[in-house]
Amino acid sequence: MKHTYLLKGNTAQKLYCAVKDLPIMDYHCHLSPQEIYEDLPIDNIGEVWLGGDHYKWRLMRTAGIDEAYITGDASWHDKFVHYAKAIEFAAGNPLYHWSHMELSMYFGIDDALCSASAEDIWSRANAYIEEHKLSARKLIEQSNVELICTTDDIVDSLEWHEKIRKEGKLKAAVLPSFRTDNLLLMRRAGYADYLQKLSDVSGIAILSLEDLKAAVESRLQYFVKMGCKFTDVGIPFFPDRIADRAEADVSFAKVLRGEALTDAEYLGLVGHLYVFLGALYAKYDLVMQWHLSVIRNANSVYFDRLGGDCGVDCVGDPVPGADLVRLLDAINRTSKLPETILYTLTPANKEQIGSIAGSFPRVRCGAAWWFCDHKRGIEDEIKVISENGSLGAFLGMLTDSRSFLSYARHDYFRRILCSVIGEWVDADEYDDAPAATLVARICYQNLKELVGGTK
């Protein structure tokens, strides 16, 4: 991989040199803390690349690869060869960039991956894995990662986080994040069982909405004790109303009785709990992340067979700006807004969300997320943030990934960021003097200041 990869001009290259070696603060990912703790040796590139990466699965399906070579029982070798067939003609797809960056950064291979080169790259990558005894921790350390914030259900025991912390050998801090999706999906089958788990781990019998809130706060206190800095939610539903206390009590009583909620009852109750959670996060000085406009498990056949996160989620409809404003304003009036990051999967209302974020204290637009984290999407997000607020407050990139090789995405982002700022400098649209400080703040310093000490 050339040093100039994705860097447009000398100024971009100079700015990149100022940030390329900065530590990585990966404040939202889906890495397994158990895998980090156990640190098992990596067996082959097929497994580490394709074992749980639904980005790659999705690409292979769209390229017409048979499911046997994606999630089926084919060998890792055969899956890798078929991935090479898919990536060969994936021009413009970010996976084409990421895959080749990963080959270069982690295996020392700078050849293009295609059908003709697949066997040679398979052999060379596996020889490198064996020679260097690659494992999860080695990849983390090689990537110069300082912070890893995993995504954890509120009923999770956090036992692996505790083991990592007690062992004290990993330089990177591995912290849990408080994810409330399952708490809020109250119309999903099995919700009564979930409430029982929450009751068991909190020690609070959940017989009312107030009991639910007490149990949630108890779990949050435990997460904070374990170092939690970030919270998150990414359900497909965004409330268009906020139920008052009496309405919410009635609706949750129906949930406890196993009765069906109407859309209005459900969304009103979710809105009520969003306000409660926002105030709770402010109380404990946590960062609140909202992931908006997603449709989960669009292909029910694949979901029934493979479960969630199998590559069949997609972009949802834009969240109405009035609903977003109503909820942010209600939290702000109830207590104060915690530090808040807004992400959206649809570009249709990026500008609107940018302007809404600027209307409230401590609210920022997040990184280009999921289906938007390609080159154009990242460039667009940088420009939306800069045009609607202060780019210097941007928190930069995250992996949002289950792969220990995905830290290449931080380098991808840094190159694109430096190219955008470099072009502005070259066009006399931004002063050269603060440019290096600006990119360093976005790539590292802002997160460092936000989370403070992590160990």
Q: pLDDT tens digit string along 311-320?
A: 999 999 999 9
Same domain, 29 and 76: no
Same domain, 29 and 64: no
Decide the pairing of beta strands 173-175 and 152-153: unpaired
Asked, for residue 4, whether it belongs to a domain, the answer is: no
| Burial grade of 449 (CB within 10 A; 0-12, 13-18, 19 or more) | exposed
Give φ, ψ of 200 to 5 degrees. -65, -45
Given 116, 134, 152, the domain boundary residue is 134
Asked, for residue 20, whether it belongs to a domain, the answer is: yes
| Nearest-angstrom CA–CA distance, 213 and 205 | 11
Q: Quick one: which of 243, 248, 220, 232 has its CA closest to 181?
A: 232
pLDDT reported for residue 453: 60
Domain span holding position 280? 10-40+136-451
We report the CATH number of the domain holding residue 435 as 3.20.20.140
Q: Quick one: which of 386, 328, 333 has its CA closest to 357?
A: 328
pLDDT reported for residue 2: 82
Mean pLDDT of the chain: 97
Which phi-psi region, left, alpha or beta, contains residue 37 (left: φ > 0; alpha: ψ -120 to 50)?
A: alpha
Whether 454 has a pLDDT exceeding 60, the answer reads no
Same domain, 34 and 125: no
Lowest mean pLDDT among 1-5, 22-26, 154-158: 1-5
Same domain, 26 and 97: no
Same domain, 260 and 373: yes
Asked, for residue 1, whether it belongs to a domain, the answer is: no
Same domain, 287 and 313: yes
Longest dimension (CA), the chain: 66
Same domain, 420 and 356: yes
Asked, for residue 2, whether it belongs to a domain, the answer is: no
Return contacts of 211-215, CB within 8 angstroms, 24+ apart.
212/252, 213/276
Which residues does 229 contact at the CB level (< 8 Å), separation at least 6?
A: 27, 149, 175, 177, 286, 287, 450, 451, 454
We report the CATH number of the domain holding residue 51 as 1.10.2020.10
Instruction: Tell how far CA 213 is from the center of its chain.
Output: 26
Same domain, 24 and 48: no
Given 99, 134, 169, the domain boundary residue is 134
Q: pLDDT tens digit string along 289-326?
A: 999 999 999 999 999 999 999 999 999 999 999 999 99
Contact 218, 202 (CB under 8 A): yes
Same domain, 290 and 374: yes
Asked, for residue 149, whether it belongs to a domain, the answer is: yes
pLDDT reported for residue 277: 98
Same domain, 29 and 71: no
| Nearest-angstrom CA–CA distance, 429 and 450 | 29
Q: How many domains does the chain have?
A: 2
